[in-house]
Structure 1
Amino acid sequence: MPPIDQWGAFEPQAGSPVALAALLLAVLYVRGAIWMWRHGRRWAVARTASFLIGCALIVAVTTFGVNRLATDSVSALMFQQITLLTVVPPLLIAGSPGRLLLRSTPHTGLGRLVLRAAHAGLRSRFWRAALHPVVAIVIAMLLYPVLYLTDAISVIMRVPFGHDLFLAIVLVLGVVSATPLWSSDPLPRVPSFAARFVDIVVEIQIHAVIGLILLRTSTPLFSAYATPTGSHDPVIDQAIAGTLVWTYAELPMFVVLIVCLSRWRARDVRTSKQRQHAEDAELDAYNEYLATLSRGRQGS
């Protein structure tokens, strides 16, 4: 494994095009937020900060030394994957970019086309299917056990621009799988809390299994990373990758698990209070009815 200080060395010349996409997203988001503030419309600074932090993390893992070292170190690649798959998406989603798009886009010219596309997406069967809780589990299976236990990751890393394409796909799939769990924006499908809970628990188990396999295997699993070079030991490197999956990848999942359970309980408490108020109103109306009957009998 390369020294950890090399991971944090700023190397824009070896950066990924994904970093440019993140910078563009940040500029567009800030433009929308400024438009809201200039027109006297409320837009939370916390949302803006969350989205920009997410974009900054994308730039960091795709322009710092960890991006260059990912072609030689599977632990560096795993760090990139976990960051883009499980850490960055919640930050982007918490920024409510969809809501900002709908509120800040003008209703004339090109803006009208953008809004039409956004509304079409909300009614799209494709996105409704993509946001099904099962899809998130399939994504986790593809990007961990299938990708690494079949050594498909070595094939990807040997393809020209395979690394950059892989990072872009991981980020997109991370946003797709995290949206049903984190988003407060309008969605084509809103899964139940029970479905979210099952999704989170299954993903946690997938991380645990693949992490344990990488940590305990005593032979190199990946042909693209199997050659020792200098201080680089491929077995130790993949063990570090397994440790990252078992720890770094689990932290966001435990956070969303706590958030899911808290929202579930709050929803149940709110529903119970509403039901109790409705029952009390019905009881008051019935008592009033009985009192009216009693007064009528006394009057006769």
Structure 2
Amino acid sequence: MPPIDQWVAFEPLAGSPVAIAALLLAALYLRGAIWMWRHGRRWAIARTASFLIGCALIFAVTTFGVNRLATESITALVFQQITLLTVVPPLLIAGSPGRLLLRSTPHTGLGRLVLRAAHAGLRSPFWSAALHPVVAIVTAMLLYPVLYLTDAISVVMRVPFGHDALLFVVLVLGVVAATPLWSSDPLPRVPSFAARFVDIAVEIQIHAVFGLILLRTSTPLFSAYANPAGGHDPILDQAIAGALVWTYAELPLFVVLIVCLSRWRAREVRTSRQRQKVEDAELDSYNEYLASLSRGRNRS
């Protein structure tokens, strides 16, 4: 694996267009947050910080030395992919960009068109289908076992701008897959907690199997990385990538699993209390009815 100083070296000329997109997103979000604060409307600083940290991570993994090393080290590429697929999306989604868009966009001029597009998206069958829990499972399959174990990743990395396109696709699919699990914004589809639990459990298994294959395989799996320019051991590089999948990629999934289970339990407790209140009210009403009957017999 390349030395750590090469990973953190700032190389703006080696940056991806995704890094520019991250700066643009951060600027647009800050504009909306500042507009809310100037007009005396509440907008949580924690949400703002979460979104900006997500944008900063996008910029870092697509601009620093790791972006250049991703063309010669599978560990660097997997690190980029895990960050954009599983670490960044929850941070962006926790910032509630959709809610900020609806609250801070003016209702005149261009703002009206933006709001119409946003409301159309909420009613769109396409986005409703895209937010189905199965999409997250399919995304994990395509971006790990299918992309890597067929060595399609070597083809992608050899195509001009293939690396940049891969980073963009990974980020978009990561956000789409994570939205039903993390979002508190209005959505065209809200999956059940049972569906979310199954989704997370399957994704964890996909990561575990893929990471184990990388760790245990004693021959190079990827032709584009079989003879690295840096002269490092491709088998060791491959094994380290597998260790990243087992640890770095799994941790966010375990976090969202805990969050999902806690929210599920909280909803069940709330529903149980509401049901108990209704049953208690019905019982009180019935007891009052029996008491009125008893008073009637006593009068007679």
Whether these two folds match at TM > 0.5 is yes
Query: 3-state SS of the aligned residue for 2:188?
Result: coil
1:228 CA displacement: 4.2
1:299 CA displacement: 2.9
Query: 3-state SS of the aligned residue for 2:62?
Result: helix
Aligned partners of 2:229 and 2:15: how far apart in 1?
23
Alignment match, 2:287? 287
Cα-to-partner distance string for 1:25-60 (whole Å, 9 max, x where unaligned):
011111111111111111111000000000000000
- In the alignment, does 2:220 pair up with 1:220? yes
- Report the AA paired with residue 136 of structure 1: A
Alignment match, 1:132? 132
Alignment match, 1:5? 5
Alignment match, 1:164? 164
Alignment match, 2:267? 267
1:279 CA displacement: 0.5
Superposed CA RMSD in Å reads 0.9
Cα-to-partner distance string for 1:37-88 (whole Å, 9 max, x where unaligned):
1111111110000000000000000110000110111110000000000000
- Report the AA paired with residue 218 of structure 1: S
1:296 CA displacement: 2.7
- In the alignment, does 2:72 pair up with 1:84? no
Alignment match, 2:296? 296
Alignment match, 1:142? 142
Alignment match, 1:61? 61
Cα-to-partner distance string for 1:161-193 (whole Å, 9 max, x where unaligned):
110110000000000000011111111111111
Aligned partners of 1:143 and 1:156: how far apart in 2?
12
Following superposition of structure 1 onto structure 2, how do residues 1-300 of structure 1 map, counting pairs within 5 Å? 1-300=1-300
Deviation larger for 137-146 or 100-109? 100-109
Aligned partners of 2:299 and 2:21: how far apart in 1?
81
1:231 CA displacement: 3.6
Cα-to-partner distance string for 1:193-250 (whole Å, 9 max, x where unaligned):
1110010010000001010101111111111111144541111111111111111000
- Report the AA paired with residue 180 of structure 2: P
Aligned partners of 1:119 and 1:299: how far apart in 2?
64
Aligned partners of 2:200 and 2:228: how far apart in 1?
37
Query: 3-state SS of the aligned residue for 1:10?
Result: coil
- Report the AA paired with residue 140 of structure 1: A
Aligned partners of 1:4 and 1:142: how far apart in 2?
29
Q: Relative to structure 1, is the Cα distance of residues 226 and 186 closer, same or farther in structure 2, using a 3 angstrom cutoff?
A: same
Q: Relative to structure 1, is the Cα distance of residues 119 and 230 closer, same or farther in structure 2, using a 3 angstrom cutoff?
A: closer
Aligned partners of 2:35 and 2:89: how far apart in 1?
24
- Report the AA paired with residue 182 of structure 1: W
1:293 CA displacement: 2.4
Aligned partners of 2:25 and 2:290: how far apart in 1?
64
Q: Structure 1 stretches of 5 or more lacking a match?
A: none
Aligned partners of 2:140 and 2:24: how far apart in 1?
27
1:108 CA displacement: 0.8
- Report the AA paired with residue 243 of structure 1: A
Aligned partners of 1:50 and 1:230: how far apart in 2?
36
Mapped contact 2:72–2:230 kept (Cα < 8 A) = no
- Report the AA paired with residue 172 of structure 2: V
Aligned partners of 1:106 and 1:230: how far apart in 2?
52
- Report the AA paired with residue 221 of structure 2: L
